[in-house]
A and B are shown apart, each in its own frame.
Chain A
Amino acid sequence: MSENLEQKIIDKIKTESLSPKPRWHFLLKERLVWAIGAIALLIGAAAVSVMLYLANNNDWLVYEKAGRNFGAWLLLSLPYFWLVFLALFLWLLSYNLKHTKKGYRYSISLIISIAIAASILLGIAFFALGLGAKIDDVLGRRAPLYDRLFNPHIDFWSQPEEGRLAGLVVALEDEQHFILADREHGEWTVVHTEDDGDLVVVGQPVRVVGKLSGEKEFIAQVIMTMKPGREFFKRLNPGLMPPPGAGRGPGQGLEAINCNGPKSESLALLLSESSEFRQNFEENLLANKEMVKELSERDPSFIPNLVNLGVSPQTISACLE
């Protein structure tokens, strides 16, 4: 080792004008690690709150009545997406905890345990504040593949051949019959007792346990409100639903505007009660301009009916351009 190493180093510092990195550089790095960890904790806790919301509204009793065992129910109803999502953010939280200034002093098992405990505790708090329900509602309204990815219960409730049906109440035919739109935009006539009247509200989603009694008829034994997934079903726009007996497609659904009877009244009620419903309805009209033009040429009362329903003049003009 040369004896002038000390001098070489000092000379290099001076000739290259090296200077120590500023303190804020290290503080920023440290804060960033903690910030990313905090974000991972919040997101993980949000996932926990959604899982608690789903679990709190699980359908074990219904499943049990259908004669299925606990294992099968568990496999079907576990929220796999949320579990993987949580695992990812638990990893991120643990990684950041381990990389704080003193994080190396703690074993990885302790770090992971802390991450899990913190996510669960905060998740419980978020659930109690209603965040789990809010997140589910937002995803239900907007997320593509909601029923395939985020909420495993939708599939469970879309099995009419097994006596389970879910959908949006789109019309009340009389005290014992209502029309239900399922997630495939199919329509069902549901027969029920008068006792369930309070639960059957146009524009609200419901779950029905019963049995098939015809191609598109269902006899209800139990009607329940929909909690997880309620906003998903509200996406269904009954204004564009095909009238009974007609084929599928948005165009045929537009003819419902000129129908008389419960369907048209229900549509008017929905449009007046819900601004979000109205917005969706007008967006669908704009998305089907050609069909709107065709119908207005075929039936002169079509446009006046749209006006009566409260559709904005700007939307009507845009459709006819």
Chain B
Amino acid sequence: MDNLPVNLEADDAELVRLSLADPDKFSYIIGRYQDKLARYIRRLGIISSEDAEDVLQDIFLKVYLNLNDFNQDLKFSSWIYRIAHNQVISNFRKRQARPEAHSLPIDGEGLQLLADDLALDQQSDLRLRQEMLTLALDKVDAKHREILVLKFFEDKSYQEISDILKKPLGTVASLLNRAKKDLKSALPVGGQF
């Protein structure tokens, strides 16, 4: 996944310090997070590669300009995901576009986690189950989809989701419950295949 030099196992906070001292070192942060954020913004609904690249560039520039705002009260990954999330929303607002859910890439692991959580029928064909879930994800509200993406596809904890979306933990929990109900009701035949 990441092709960082072997000797650069510095933690994120150390990479921030290095980047503040030398802009060239910022490339290590880009290298560490480029692929993850690229998948994340695609899952949020940025379809084309060109758009994704533009948005990703904007995200990393914003991260660079705001490096001095990072402090260790928060995980760096939560902080950078927060910037990415806000940049994607801002991009949609500027283009007055809605998130294109059908760009959600098929991600077997994430879909399996989701299926397990929703206690879907395990006897049906795996691929069919995943396709149905992907179609159902198309239909749910954007706010619900974004929290499902963070929980099941980005594997974020409740605290991390709270920090990324800047919502209280209780709100995250109830939002996730509503999102799962919304998804279940969007599945064919009441959730059964």
Contact = CB atoms under 8 A, between A and B. Distances in A.
Interface of A: 1-2, 5-10, 12-14, 18-23, 25-26, 101-102, 104-107
Specify the main secondary structure of chain B where it touches its partner.
Answer: helix
A107 B67 contact: no
Contact of A1 (B27, B52, B64): B52
Contacts of B38: 1
Contacts, number: 71
Nearest to A13: B23
Given A1-B38, A104-B166, A107-B170, A12 B57 contact: yes
Contacts of A102: 73
Contact of B27 (A10, A12, A107): A10
A102 B162 CA distance: 11
A1 B49 contact: yes
B66 A6 contact: no
Contact of A21 (B61, B66, B162, B169): B66
Nearest to B60: A9
B23 A14 contact: yes
Contacts of A20: 20, 64-68
Interface string B28-59: 00110010001000000000010011001100
A13 B64 contact: yes
Given A5-B30, A9-B61, A107 B171 contact: yes
Task: Name which of A7, A13, A102 has the most chain B CB atoms within 10 A of its CB.
Answer: A13
B168 interface: yes
Given A1-B52, A2-B53, A107-B171, 11 more contacts: A5-B56, A5-B57, A6-B30, A6-B34, A9-B57, A9-B64, A20-B20, A20-B64, A21-B68, A105-B168, A107-B168
Nearest to B67: A20
A5 B162 CA distance: 30
Contacts of B68: 20-23, 25-26
